[in-house]
Amino acid sequence: MKLTPEQQAEIEAVRAQRSETRRATAPDLEEILYQPIPVLDHGFVRVIDYMGDDSAVVQAARVSYGKGTKQVQNDAGLINYLIRQRHTTPFEMCEIKYHIKLPIFVARQWIRHRTANVNEYSARYSIMDKEYYIPEPDQLAAQSASNRQGRGDVLEGEEAAHVLALLREDAETCYSHYEEMLNEDADGAPLDESRSGLARELARMNLTLNMYTQWYWKIDLHNLMHFLSLRADSHAQYEIRVYADVMVETLKRWVPLTYEAFKNYRIGNVSLSAKGFEVVKALLAGQSVDQEKSGLSKREWRELMAVLGREDGI
């Protein structure tokens, strides 16, 4: 990810500003405020603003004045309880705003989380930058034979080189045609004075999904954790997971007590159905259990045994 001198100067200017406030601040998050954190080849995540901290969650839960108790262990215990019992409202009192640069196909997957406020770069108003995502060779994988949404074995040799060449060629060709249809350079000046060029809102239609877009994305803490629990998961698509991984680190800087509870009860937890719980109890009692008698489907049974580190219930 490269920043222009103008972009770097703008970041340095906003980071140089200082404001006196009575609001709660998160010192560790303040350290990286406005700074772009690189993701993929041209993407980034920036924290632009935030409201509240761990004490705001506790305050909302107790509906108290000031900070309430000043004992960190008590606050941590309450936050653990809130997450464990799925009391979500206190976490909705905190918000964070990101500036994110990401490939369009990732953005279209991301926007399925409809619990944020989003304002995206407009290709009707501005000209798209010539930046597109090309995967690293170790991320070029065939379609999984067992998972319609997943990847299988990594492509190698000539086959991988051919796919990379196609991706670059298609992106370059489509952007070249985009410029030709626009008849504009990046500053809006005509390339050929003898013709008008196509409207920006139409010229954009042939751009590839690996082109980069940008947006401001504002979300409350509860819905951020829901997003991260799904997208920072090992089963999530790599290209969105790397963004979520970066955002998990910003969560840690912003609300460390909430982060620890989130890591324990959301990222590191295992959910059991009522029937699955009965199987676990039977196994703890030394009983033999098989899939047919458990009442679980074959898929549920395989998933439960994988969680327990067993091949079967015997």
CA distance 116 to 157: 42
pLDDT higher than threshold 60 for residue 306: yes
pLDDT higher than threshold 60 for residue 68: no
DSSP track, 50-98? EE--HHHHHHHHHT-STT----HHHHHHHHHHHHHTT--GGGGG-EEEE
What is the helix (H) or strand (E) element at residue 235, kind and residue range? none
What does the pLDDT read at residue 149?
64
Q: Is the separation of the CB atoms in 289 and 313 below 8 Å?
A: yes
Q: What is the pLDDT of residues 73-93, one digit of tens each?
A: 688 999 999 999 999 999 999
Domain range list for the chain: 5-128+210-267, 137-206, 274-308
Measured from the Cβ of residue 226, the count of other Cβ atoms closer than 10 Å reads 17
Q: Is the separation of the CB atoms in 126 and 203 below 8 Å?
A: no
Specify the CATH number of the domain 5-128+210-267. 3.30.1360.170
What does the pLDDT read at residue 151?
64
For the annotated catalytic residues, the residue numbers are 231
The pTM assigned to this predicted structure is: 0.88
16-30, 82-96, 141-155, 255-269: lowest mean pLDDT where?
A: 141-155
Q: What is the pLDDT of residues 133-181, one digit of tens each?
A: 999 988 888 766 666 666 677 888 889 899 999 999 999 999 999 999 9
What does the pLDDT read at residue 145?
62
Longest dimension (CA), the chain: 85
The mean per-residue pLDDT over the stretch 101-128 comes to 94
Pairing of strands 43-51, 141-143: unpaired
Measured from the Cβ of residue 180, the count of other Cβ atoms closer than 10 Å reads 13
pLDDT higher than threshold 60 for residue 309: yes
Confidence of residue 312 (pLDDT cuts 50, 70, 90): low
In the predicted model, what is the mean pLDDT of the chain? 89
What is the helix (H) or strand (E) element at residue 115, kind and residue range? none
